[in-house]
Structure 1
Amino acid sequence: MTDLSHEVDALSVVAAVSFTLGAALLGGSALVAPSVPALEKVLAYECGFEPFEDARSRFDVRFYLVALLFIIFDLEVAFLFPLVGTPTGVAGTWFAVGFLGVLTGGFVYEWSRGALQWS
């Protein structure tokens, strides 16, 4: 078994110096920087124009549903990428077909329930 005490000591020194330097810079900027509260600092920035409505307005639930569906199908592609570059044979092919079948079934179900309708 190798002795890792030198590496642990070096890592501890780097972590301590980083934390101390970060805390010093953050504390120093809080002490030195002028505090000028203004209404413009808390308003939403809309391309240089006055804001039309509150920046914290409610979104429709359908936006979240579409975002979740996008994430699901985006992860599908990420899971299928390793199957392309590795020789998985017949078992890998059937796994990919089954995986795509389950996701396609879920998509058809969401479509038939009207989750993608904007009426």
Structure 2
Amino acid sequence: MQDYFHTYGVVAALAAVGGALVAGGLAANRLLRPSRPTTEKLTTYECGVDPVGEGWAQSYVRYYVFAYLYVVFAVDAVFLFPWATVFSAPGYGMTTLGEMFVFLAFLAVGLAYAGKKGVLSWV
């Protein structure tokens, strides 16, 4: 039982050392950098153009749905690589092949649902 809690102590010590390194780096940055704020430096910067109007802009929810769908399909691509390595192992071929078809069927149903709802049409 002593070794069990000792392991957590090591993890806590490493986390404390990592936090101290980050805090030390930020403190050194603040002490060593020049600080000469002017009104020109403190204005909002938008790609070289002076900002016009308010800072509030609405965006379509559809863009978030595109981002969400991208994440879903990127994650599914990540799952394909370990599947390919297990697929080549002896004795797992048909089992992993069936599991992958079930996985791809779930993704296809989700993609068909998104297409039916009109999410995939770029407007």
Do both proteins adopt the same fold according to a TM-score greater than 0.5, normalized to the shorter chain? Answer: yes
Match of 2:106 in 1: 102
Counterparts of 1:7-86 in structure 2 under 5 Å?
8=10, 15=17, 19=20, 22-23=23-24, 26=27, 29=30, 33-34=34-35, 36-38=37-39, 40-46=41-47, 48-51=48-51, 56-86=56-86
- For structure 2, list consecutive stretches of 5 or more residues without a partner in the other structure: none
Q: Higher relative CO (CA 8 A, sep ≥ 6), structure 1 or 2? A: 1
CA RMSD of aligned residues (A): 3.7
Q: CA offsets per residue over residues 44-71 of structure 1, 9 Å max, x none?
A: 331x233466565222101000000000
Q: How many residues align?
A: 112
Cα distance in 2 for partners of 1:110, 1:28 equals 48
Normalising by structure 1, we get a TM-score of: 0.68
| 1:32 positional shift | 7.2
The ranges of structure 1 where at least 4 consecutive aligned residues each deviate by more than 6 angstroms after the TM superposition are none
Shift, 1:27, TM fit: 7.0
